[in-house]
Structure 1
Amino acid sequence: MKFPLSWLRRHLDTTATLAEITATLNRIGLEVEGVEDRGAALAGFRIAHVVEAAQHPNADRLRALKVDPGDGRLLSVVCGAPNARAGMKGVLALPGAFIPGTGITLKQGEIRGVTSEAMMLSAREMGLGDDHSGILDLPAEAPLGASYVAWAGLDDPVVEISVTPNRGDALAIRGIARDLAAAGLGTLKPLPEPKIVPAYPAPLRWEIADPRACDHVLGRGIRGLRNGPSPKWLQDWLVAIGLRPINALVDVTNLFTYGLGRPLHVFDVAKVQGGVLTMRMAREGESLAALNGKTYALTPEDGIIADAAGPEALGGIIGGEPSGCDEGTTECFIECALFDPVRIALSGRRHDIRTDARARFERGVDPALPPLALDLATALMLELCGGEASEVAAAGTPPAWQRSATLRFERLAGLGGAEVPADAAVAILERLGFAVQQRDASQVTVAVPSWRNDIAQAGSVETVLDQAATLPADRARAAAEGCAVVEPEADLVEEVLRIRGLDTIPPVSLPVAGLVPPPALTPQQARAGLARRVLAARGMLDCVSFGFLDQRVAALFGETPEALHLENPIAADLDQMRPTPLASLLLAAGRNAARGFPDVALSELGASYLDPSPEGQRQVIAGLRAGHTPRHWAEPSRPVDAMDAKGDALALLAALGLPMAAVTVTADAPGFYHPGRSGVLRQGPKTVLARFGEIHPRIRAALDLAGPAVGFEVFLDAIPEPKRRKKGAPDLPAFQPVRRDFAFLVDAGVTAEQVLRAARGADRQLVAEVAVFDRYAGEKLPEGKASLAIQVTLQPREATLTDGQIEAVADRIVAAVAKATGAVLRA
């Protein structure tokens, strides 16, 4: 938001300097982005009179001038401007002056044998434009010897501030002046209240066909006007803030947009067809030829102003060329309306139109200002263009903007962090326009002024929904739920502290929670990250897939309850929550195989769904290997088997801190695994830690996966968190371990796990590790029997084991295995 200092002084009666004003703006939260002082670089230039202009004796395109700078001297100036002539007045730069348009510092010199003691300047050389066709030609009444900056009004700094999205009132110079006055930097000047006497009925009529397009609108005609250039003071203000003056009618609307934050629009009555301007939503196929020279294809979500011929403006955003006012306009119609801020923002974003009107309407304008703004604009247009005004045409109902807010004085310190006396707080609110309705020792209730749309009205969702009845249901609900949690008291605290000065709030360090910061990740998050890294290190590619499948595919991996069926799936083949992430990996492997990559190793950390309850959603990390193992120098490639999946699952459990001695294997894997080549990893009889095995051929056939495939699922929620223990010295036994092999003849139905458990329990002090290294069944063994070979590692702690001690432990191991399984030690 830019504004010249002189424009601010039209609203603020103050003697403050520019430095004081900018410092106060920063202090009250209207951060100053920059100050442009165009006159600073031109301060040394003065108005001079060309007394004599003669042809240069040695150059055809130069003239030798005698110039009076106003101090009684006559200076010799060599000038190449074609318009240099005797009797004219221009701008003179003396030696030592910096010329901003050329970037040089002027020095006295000699040009083709003629001394040049100064320089007559063009607009481009002064940095005031692109005109370099000649030196600046000033009117005869320009005061000789006076400062050009002061005479031209260029000693008017332009201030640019940053406005936060909630402060729509600060997009008006009057709103900025009001804040400065409340901060003690002057007095806010009252707005005049002109009395407009209507001379004829309104030339156009308003009609609100759809309340979504507009809530309330006023309009007034002016006939017999003469539209032309606006006066210099108005053009200077507009140019200073970066706007291009167009004509008096349009320039007045820009004046009100920036001055009062009240966008207006003018229609040429002669160009409006049908005599009625209708507020409605656009229709399919309609377009608008806008004032910026572009044509926009409108949608049914755009609110427009239309006549009998079609769209004439995109309401609250930009007007249209067909009814625009130009120098031929003799009768205009002023529009002053209120629009839905959300719809303005959506339409502006949809069409990528950025205008000053949109910026103000989407933040909310003063709903009580339209009658006065219309009168003020009418009075100024009559003053500049002449003519006579009509009656006011209106449609819609003025909004009920009146609301109140309560401030508890103790919240200034409790929430704002600054001690402010109650009287001082109330005085600040009153200076900002809040009217006291009720006050006691602990709190004050104030009426919120109409221009402060950012001070919310607290209430229930249902109340806000009633007020937003014209909005779409989904957007009304979202807006209501957002508004219902807003506390206007916090806004009042902010206003008091802001005007008192943000720099007066004492800085307070955040409390130190502890010397050691808490971990950034929860144990569950850390475990999930570790699991993904472990599988990545084992050569698996981490995948992210949808949590839902085709119901027919999901049925291959378990039950598909109706409660997990999606009513509105994103695709027809993604209509059921998946029972396991392994199904998603199998589909991904099938797609890879169809494209020539049958050998894959994939993993995914995701959810499996048993029912809609929170307990029915389990966090699972699944892995899949399909095709053949990777080629390696130490061993040839081979088809993957169930032991690959078991190794992956056990490695993952070990990395997550689970003691491997507590893990047992059972053969009750679900039906999508091969019944003879799969298993379940458990901790105790009830806790299922993981499942692994070869994928059933029936499942592979249903999913068009030709090659072998093995997979596993580790249930992270079932793995107990490892106990935190203080790190001590590493366990490094001083004595050599002893390894002994045992081969047992067991019934074919005896599992290796039974033998291993019995061997471990034979002597828990010495037996450090037990592992199976061979299983044989066939020739030379009785029918129904198998040979199971294990290796037992004995780790002494106190002394090296003697042969007798070793034999004693071996006997205990044989006895324990025989008792648990009926096994016999093979000779």
Structure 2
Amino acid sequence: MKFTLSWLRDHLDTKATLEEITTRLTANGLLVDSVENPAETLKGFKIVEILEAHPHPNADRLKVCRVNTGTDIVQVVCGAPNARAGLKGIFASPGTTIPTSGMVLGKSRIRDVESAGMMCSERELGLGDSHEGIIELPLDAPVGEDFCVYKGLDDLVIDIEITPNRGDCLGVRGIARDLAATGIGDLKPLKIPSLKGKFSSAFQVRIDDLQGCPFFTGRLIRNVRNSPSPEWLQKKLRAIGLKPISALVDITNFMSYDRGRPMHVFDADKLQGSLTIRKARTGDQLQALDNNTYLIPSDALVITDEHDVCSLAGIMGGLASGCSEETVNVFVESALFEPVRIAMAGRALRILSDSRYRFERGVDPAVIEEGLEQATQMILDFCGGEASNIIRAGVAPSEHHRVPFHTSRVQTLGGLSLPKEKIYEILERLGFMPEGEHTFKVPSWRPDIKGEADLVEEILRIHGYNAVEAVDLPRITPEEIRQNPESQVDRPWKIRCSLVSRGMSEAYTWSFIKKEWAEKFGGGDSLLAVENPISADMSDMRPSLLPLLLDALRRNIARGHKELALFEIGNQYHVAGEVLAATGIRGLETGPRHWLNSGRSVDLFDAKADVYAVLESCGFDPSSLQLSTEMPPWYHPGRSGTLMLGAKTKVAYFGELHPQILEMFDLQEPVVGFEVFVNTIPAAKGLKKDFTLLSPYQPVERDFSFILDTHIPGEKLLQLIQKLDKNLITSVSVFDVYQGKEVPEGKKSVALSVRLEPRENTLTEAEITNLSNKIIENAQKILGAELRS
């Protein structure tokens, strides 16, 4: 939303500086994106007078002019047909940059005649499309003065970002109202004319879809002259990047930006009978003002005359009923349209107009007739004519809604202690009026306010979030977590803490990726393509968090950050729905570079350890999961795995990423990754073990080496041994895997260590032997394993 500083001051009586205003805007939630000074682009352009203009000796269409710059007399070669003695225009001296082309002027010779600068046209200065001749200024224009100062083009332009709930600030009046609430100035009273119609019009309007258009007003104005709008209005529109077209069009644009009130003006003589607002029918189409023809979807709202569609309601008017220089009689529309219907139609047709942008965010219903009156007065002032009585259809908006509010909630919900008087002052300055002890009436321009929390947010916003004191969060004891592990802290927070503690850094990436990446990671379906992508690299919803993490890894490696571990917790998108995933990657070597530590390359067990940490942080024992080697194609076959809960539920992927994937991201070294599907992790029933004292008895470790089939995962052997005596066996770990000489083909040797920790007495040799035999017997019976001699 762009506006000039002087435009803001049309509504806000303030002595605040630009810095104070922009700081307050951002603090209010209206983030200032930029502040531009148009004078910077027109710097160096001076008002001059042509003293003489003689034909060029070597060119028929050129003239050699002697130009008075106010400080000097210079010679300029000019090709404009209107260049003549006595003309006052705009001059660019050598060293000046032309705004529209970026060309830096210098002294030159044109057909053997020296030229020290250039006389400028409107197009060259970005002030219009005219290029047939140079700009002609009034004869009293002061020679030597800066052109931008003379024309008042040095008005600062402020551009702010508007959040979707703040449709009231899509008009300068709303922005001024919001600033006035902070005490930075006072909102000026607005004078709304009350016009009595000169005649009663036979023109009729009917609404067939009251849900889509609850209320419609209009007025017939006859005998108008659609001339150019006044200079002050053209200046405002040009400053914010709008091209002045004609008085009628400029007035509707002004109302849209000044009051946030989109309107439309029909050429009444081009309408065939009365108007109807209805749902579009199959086959309805419209050649719109942008010269495109649209096939209108059936749920869109249209405005028709007795023969055809003449406007896409709330979005864009039709070319056939548009105003031109020949327009004599007009019908002015000011209506209320349902935001969702406007948004859906605009998206379906891919039309983003100023009108749609405002209607889909909610316009102030109280300004429907106010806007019509104000626009009518402007038309009468600029174009003449006479206006009819107001034509109405539908039901005028009802009284403002109310929300409950207790002042104590500012402290309990917002953490800010304010006296009741201050709270009421802020709300009343924002337009909220108290009714009774605990109720406030919501102003018509704030349809986003639904409840008590919204009012608390308004108070914090205006008073300042920086006034909210920081407080320590209550500590959560291990006992509390053990008693109720799921409710104390949400899973993403616990997962985040776990991965950070393992040396990983959290990343936040886009939800959109390029189609090539989406297709490689199980996506690319047309249903997940973005209709209006920001760029070609953001064309599809991400089916996995891995691509952008890999891209981040690539960019970090290119900048010398090689030992990097990244993770992200977020949604990935599939045709079947969204999936919350905790995803991470590790690249290159692990461990710092040091003469005592040569480091090692990452492998799938690093990723597996990350997965186990995630599962354990959620209070789940990963040893109860089954391991599958069935993997998606972006993982390396044989160097990856899937953790399954039962036969169908996939809990996590982990392992090395496929070399082709690494090549696509220009990564030269192996990278391991994991994806944990958070919502598939079963609810925790408590931690695996209670917090207990260490055993006072001597632990015992026994090593075993088994030969088993290569297709049997070592994980199954570990799980089998662990289950034999969960109280006595505290850990089982593999320390060697061997295939080759002395091991039969199709077999592998798995060496593991079993740690026994007694709790009640020191283990006897007989007890240790019995448990060892039990391990050997079960390994042989269940897995077909043989003890290696």
- The CA deviation at 1:217 is 1.0
- The CA deviation at 1:106 is 5.8
Q: How does 1:131-170 map to 2 (within 5 A)?
A: 134-170=133-169
Distance 2:343 2:443 in 1: 24
Find the counterpart in structure 2 of residue 454 from structure 1.
Answer: 448
Report if the CA contact (8 A) 2:54-2:63 is conserved: yes
Shift in alpha-carbon separation, 1:656–1:287, aligned structure 2, 3 A: farther
Find the counterpart in structure 2 of residue 379 from structure 1.
Answer: 377
Report if the CA contact (8 A) 1:101-1:125 is conserved: yes
Report if the CA contact (8 A) 1:12-1:177 is conserved: yes
Report the residue type matching 2:615 in the other structure.
L
Report the residue type matching 1:86 in the other structure.
A
Shift in alpha-carbon separation, 1:110–1:306, aligned structure 2, 3 A: closer
Report if the CA contact (8 A) 1:77-1:115 is conserved: yes
Find the counterpart in structure 2 of residue 490 from structure 1.
Answer: 453
Distance 1:333 1:105 in 2: 48
- The CA deviation at 1:39 is 1.1
Find the counterpart in structure 2 of residue 590 from structure 1.
Answer: none
Report the residue type matching 1:453 in the other structure.
P
Deviations 1:313-340 (A, max 9, x none): 2221122223222222221111111111
- The CA deviation at 1:82 is 4.9
Find the counterpart in structure 1 of residue 54 from structure 2.
Answer: 54
Report if the CA contact (8 A) 2:95-2:104 is conserved: yes
Uncovered stretches (5+) of structure 2, i.e. residues with no partner: 479-493, 499-612, 650-675, 678-682, 684-707, 737-764
Distance 1:112 1:290 in 2: 48
Shift in alpha-carbon separation, 1:656–1:489, aligned structure 2, 3 A: farther
Report if the CA contact (8 A) 1:289-1:320 is conserved: yes
Report the residue type matching 1:189 in the other structure.
K
Shift in alpha-carbon separation, 1:292–1:99, aligned structure 2, 3 A: closer
Report if the CA contact (8 A) 2:627-2:642 is conserved: no
Distance 1:318 1:544 in 2: 55
Find the counterpart in structure 1 of residue 269 from structure 2.
Answer: 270
Report if the CA contact (8 A) 2:626-2:643 is conserved: no
TM norm structure 2: 0.63
Uncovered stretches (5+) of structure 1, i.e. residues with no partner: 457-487, 548-578, 583-604, 607-613, 615-642, 663-721, 733-761, 776-788, 795-827
Find the counterpart in structure 2 of residue 182 from structure 1.
Answer: 181
Report the residue type matching 1:270 in the other structure.
D
Shift in alpha-carbon separation, 1:651–1:165, aligned structure 2, 3 A: same
Distance 2:356 2:329 in 1: 26
Deviations 1:631-652 (A, max 9, x none): xxxxxxxxxxxx999x85x965
**What is the RMSD computed on CA atoms of the aligned residues?**
4.6
- The CA deviation at 1:169 is 0.2
- The CA deviation at 1:89 is 0.6
Question: What secondary structure, in the 3-state scheme, does the structure 2 residue paired with 1:391 have?
Answer: coil
Shift in alpha-carbon separation, 1:387–1:45, aligned structure 2, 3 A: same
Report the residue type matching 1:214 in the other structure.
C
Q: How does 1:675-694 map to 2 (within 5 A)?
A: none
Report if the CA contact (8 A) 2:718-2:732 is conserved: no
Find the counterpart in structure 1 of residue 20 from structure 2.
Answer: 20
Find the counterpart in structure 2 of residue 424 from structure 1.
Answer: 422
Shift in alpha-carbon separation, 1:134–1:528, aligned structure 2, 3 A: farther
Find the counterpart in structure 2 of residue 328 from structure 1.
Answer: 326
Question: What secondary structure, in the 3-state scheme, does the structure 2 residue paired with 1:334 have?
Answer: strand
- The CA deviation at 1:654 is 3.8
Question: What secondary structure, in the 3-state scheme, does the structure 1 residue paired with 2:221 have?
Answer: strand
Deviations 1:267-304 (A, max 9, x none): 222222232x1121111222222222122222331122
Question: What secondary structure, in the 3-state scheme, does the structure 2 residue paired with 1:418 have?
Answer: coil
Distance 2:637 2:359 in 1: 59
Q: How does 1:92-107 map to 2 (within 5 A)?
A: 92-94=91-93, 97=96, 99-100=98-99, 103=102
Report if the CA contact (8 A) 1:213-1:315 is conserved: no
Find the counterpart in structure 2 of residue 302 from structure 1.
Answer: 300
- The CA deviation at 1:62 is 5.5
Q: How does 1:245-260 map to 2 (within 5 A)?
A: 245-260=244-259
Distance 1:328 1:494 in 2: 51
TM norm structure 1: 0.61
Report if the CA contact (8 A) 1:203-1:390 is conserved: no
Find the counterpart in structure 1 of residue 36 from structure 2.
Answer: 36
Question: What secondary structure, in the 3-state scheme, does the structure 2 residue paired with 1:415 have?
Answer: helix
- Count the aligned residue pairs: 574
Find the counterpart in structure 2 of residue 370 from structure 1.
Answer: 368
Find the counterpart in structure 2 of residue 282 from structure 1.
Answer: 280
Question: What secondary structure, in the 3-state scheme, does the structure 2 residue paired with 1:219 have?
Answer: strand
Find the counterpart in structure 2 of residue 411 from structure 1.
Answer: 409
Q: Pick which of 331-340 and 166-175 moved more.
A: 331-340
Distance 1:534 1:224 in 2: 82
Deviations 1:379-426 (A, max 9, x none): 111111111111111111123241223443333333333333332222
Distance 2:289 2:273 in 1: 21
Find the counterpart in structure 1 of residue 594 from structure 2.
Answer: none
Question: What secondary structure, in the 3-state scheme, does the structure 2 residue paired with 1:65 have?
Answer: strand
Larger radius of gyration: 1
- The CA deviation at 1:68 is 2.5
Report the residue type matching 1:286 in the other structure.
D
Find the counterpart in structure 2 of residue 465 from structure 1.
Answer: none
Q: Pick which of 518-527 and 366-375 moved more.
A: 518-527
Match of 2:626 among 520, 531, 534: 531
- The CA deviation at 1:262 is 1.0
Report the residue type matching 2:441 in the other structure.
A
Find the counterpart in structure 1 of residue 769 from structure 2.
Answer: 766
Q: How does 1:691-706 map to 2 (within 5 A)?
A: none
Distance 1:509 1:70 in 2: 68
Question: What secondary structure, in the 3-state scheme, does the structure 1 residue paired with 2:53 have?
Answer: strand
Question: What secondary structure, in the 3-state scheme, does the structure 2 residue paired with 1:308 have?
Answer: coil
Find the counterpart in structure 1 of residue 697 from structure 2.
Answer: none
Find the counterpart in structure 2 of residue 595 from structure 1.
Answer: none
Report if the CA contact (8 A) 1:37-1:156 is conserved: yes
Find the counterpart in structure 1 of residue 614 from structure 2.
Answer: 520
Report the residue type matching 1:190 in the other structure.
P
Question: What secondary structure, in the 3-state scheme, does the structure 2 residue paired with 1:327 have?
Answer: coil
Q: Pick which of 352-361 and 241-250 moved more.
A: 241-250
Shift in alpha-carbon separation, 1:130–1:289, aligned structure 2, 3 A: closer
Distance 1:490 1:424 in 2: 17
Report if the CA contact (8 A) 1:49-1:67 is conserved: yes
Deviations 1:334-364 (A, max 9, x none): 1111111111111111221111111111111
Report if the CA contact (8 A) 1:367-1:401 is conserved: no
- The CA deviation at 1:57 is 6.0
- The CA deviation at 1:26 is 1.4
Question: What secondary structure, in the 3-state scheme, does the structure 1 residue paired with 2:211 have?
Answer: coil
Find the counterpart in structure 2 of residue 224 from structure 1.
Answer: 223
Report the residue type matching 1:191 in the other structure.
L
Report if the CA contact (8 A) 1:120-1:135 is conserved: yes
Report if the CA contact (8 A) 2:302-2:312 is conserved: yes
Report if the CA contact (8 A) 2:628-2:643 is conserved: no
Report the residue type matching 2:299 in the other structure.
E
Distance 2:246 2:220 in 1: 17
Report if the CA contact (8 A) 2:33-2:161 is conserved: yes
Q: How does 1:664-683 map to 2 (within 5 A)?
A: none
Shift in alpha-carbon separation, 1:658–1:59, aligned structure 2, 3 A: same
Distance 1:544 1:764 in 2: 34
Query: 1:66 and 2:52 equivalent?
Result: no
Report if the CA contact (8 A) 1:535-1:652 is conserved: no
Deviations 1:448-500 (A, max 9, x none): 111111111xxxxxxxxxxxxxxxxxxxxxxxxxxxxxxx2222122222222
Q: Pick which of 143-152 and 129-138 moved more.
A: 129-138
Q: How does 1:526-675 map to 2 (within 5 A)?
A: 527=622, 531-532=626-627, 581=648, 653-656=716-719, 659=722, 661=724
Find the counterpart in structure 2 of residue 358 from structure 1.
Answer: 356
Question: What secondary structure, in the 3-state scheme, does the structure 2 residue paired with 1:438 have?
Answer: coil
Find the counterpart in structure 1 of residue 507 from structure 2.
Answer: none
Distance 1:22 1:424 in 2: 24
Report the residue type matching 1:447 in the other structure.
K
Report if the CA contact (8 A) 1:318-1:355 is conserved: yes
Report if the CA contact (8 A) 2:615-2:622 is conserved: no
Distance 2:409 2:107 in 1: 68
